[in-house]
Amino acid sequence: MEQLLQHLVNAIILGSTYALLGIGLTFIFGIMRVVNFAHGELYTFGAYMVYLFSVILGVNFLLAIAIAIVLGVLLGAAIEYTLLRKLRGADVDTTMLVMIGAWIIMQNGEQLIWSGVAKSIPTPFPEEPLSLGLVSVAWSRVFVFVVAIALIILAQTIIQRTRLGKAMRATFQDRDTAALMGININVIYLATFALGSGLASAAGALLGPIFIVMPTMGNLAVLKAFAIVILGGLGNMKGAAIGGFVLALVEEFGAGYVSSGYRDAMGFLLIILVLMVKPTGLFARSERIG
């Protein structure tokens, strides 16, 4: 029972960052129809930026995370502007190939700059875990959970409550009509990619200090993000949030009760199963964003 609860708590904390990753990816796909293979690299980028600012430059830990998120947003905007803008209207496969190219360049760039040696980032939180009756949680993980949930709510608010978000939702429904209504599609695409990238970077910035930071950490992250997005249905943000938690639960319990070696395989088996049974994802009722 204790073990079960502990797994559950771990899964919920991990799930919050998975949700962050998944929402960013599904958002980009939903609006831009781009399968963003560079998503995992933005995740890695976020982690390295925290390392750079917090460990090398000695900036305050919390500030370093904020800087990493902002830089992730800027990098996303730069990628959209340089690589994707010219490919407006190209098919999914074409943009996918370009993003795979970007992914290779970024990952090897990281390898070149930071070398393949794993880095760890110390956190300013107390070593003593937070004890909640039967289970205990490290404070650094509590922090990750709180920030991740806050960011998810922030992203949701931007999409549901702001003018920009309204324009994004309109573009999602019908790009051409939205353009006819005077929405500047280029701005929307730029904002979409930047926001999605910022979320990925945030996930990396939050998880980096908990795990270790290395150039290849993005590979599994991007594949898991795909798994999450498929679970929720491509382009479905609520689905992606739930998908993130589902994947974390399956992984955590799979690793705990079946086999820890196959931890990372759980997600992929889940995708294959979901697509066999319900190809539109678990939570897709109709195609809409928000």
Partner 1 sequence: MTTTMQWLFVAALAGLPLVMHDQYFFHVLIMMGIFTIGAMSLNLLLGYTGQLSLGHVAFFGIGAYTSALVSLGFDIQITETYTFVLAPKPAWFSLICSVTLAGLCGWFIGKLSFRVRGAYFVIVTISFAEVVRLVALNWVDLTEGPMALNNIPPLATALPGFDSGPLQRKIVNYYIVLGVAVFSFLVIKRIIQSRLGRAMVALRENEALAKSVGIDVTRYLVLAAIASAAIAGAAGGLYAHYVRIVDPDVFLFIYTVTMVIMVVSGGKGTLAGPVVGGVIFGLLPEFLRGHTVPEVQWMIYGALMILIVYFLPQGIVPAVNKWWTAYRSKRDQVVATNVSLGRNPQEQEG
Would you put residue 161 in left (φ > 0), alpha (ψ -120 to 50) or beta?
A: alpha
Comparing CA positions, the residue from 205, 193, 252, 203 lying closest to residue 225 is 203
Find the binding residues for partner 1 in span 96-155 (CB under 8 A): 96-98, 100-105, 107-109, 111-112
Coil vs helix vs strand at 119: strand
| Contacting range for partner 1; rule: CB under 8 A; set: 45-53, 124-132, 146-154, 271-279 | 271-279
Q: Tell me how far apart the alpha carbons of residues 234 and 283 are, in angstroms, rounded to a whole number.
A: 10
- Single out the residue of 12, 55, 70, 83 in contact with partner 1 (rule: CB under 8 A): 83
**Residue 227 found at the interface with partner 1 (CB under 8 A):** yes
Of residues 105 and 118, the one with the C-beta less far from partner 1: 105
What residues have CB less than 8 Å from 92, skipping those under 6 apart?
33, 34, 35
Q: What are phi and psi of 262, to 5 degrees?
A: -95, 15
Contact 75, 42 (CB under 8 A): yes
**Residue 172 found at the interface with partner 1 (CB under 8 A):** no
Of residues 58 and 89, the one with the C-beta less far from partner 1: 89
Q: How many residues bind partner 1 (CB under 8 A)?
A: 41
What residues have CB less than 8 Å from 89, skipping those under 6 apart?
none
Coil vs helix vs strand at 17: helix
Q: How many CB atoms are located within 10 Å of the residue 59 CB?
A: 16
**Residue 93 found at the interface with partner 1 (CB under 8 A):** yes
What single-letter DSSP state applies at residue 162?
S
**Residue 43 found at the interface with partner 1 (CB under 8 A):** no
Of residues 144 and 270, the one with the C-beta less far from partner 1: 270
- Single out the residue of 120, 166, 219, 253 in contact with partner 1 (rule: CB under 8 A): 219
Binding mask 234-253 for partner 1 (x = CB under 8 A): x-------------------
Coil vs helix vs strand at 37: coil
**Residue 35 found at the interface with partner 1 (CB under 8 A):** yes
Q: Tell me how far apart the alpha carbons of residues 170 and 167 are, in angstroms, rounded to a whole number.
A: 5
Handedness of CA 142, 144, 9, 216 (dihedral sign): negative
**Residue 283 found at the interface with partner 1 (CB under 8 A):** no
Closest distance of CB 257 from partner 1, Å: 16
| Contacting range for partner 1; rule: CB under 8 A; set: 135-143, 155-163, 174-182, 222-230 | 222-230
| Contacting range for partner 1; rule: CB under 8 A; set: 6-14, 121-129, 139-147, 258-266 | 258-266
- Single out the residue of 89, 131, 261, 286 in contact with partner 1 (rule: CB under 8 A): 261
Q: Tell me how far apart the alpha carbons of residues 38 and 102 are, in angstroms, rounded to a whole number.
A: 6
Q: What are phi and psi of 49, to 5 degrees?
A: -65, -40
Closest distance of CB 265 from partner 1, Å: 4
**Residue 271 found at the interface with partner 1 (CB under 8 A):** yes
Give the residues lining the site for partner 1 (CB under 8 A).
29, 35, 83, 86-87, 92-94, 96-98, 100-105, 107-109, 111-112, 219, 223, 226-227, 230, 234, 259, 261-262, 264-265, 267-269, 271-272, 275-276, 279
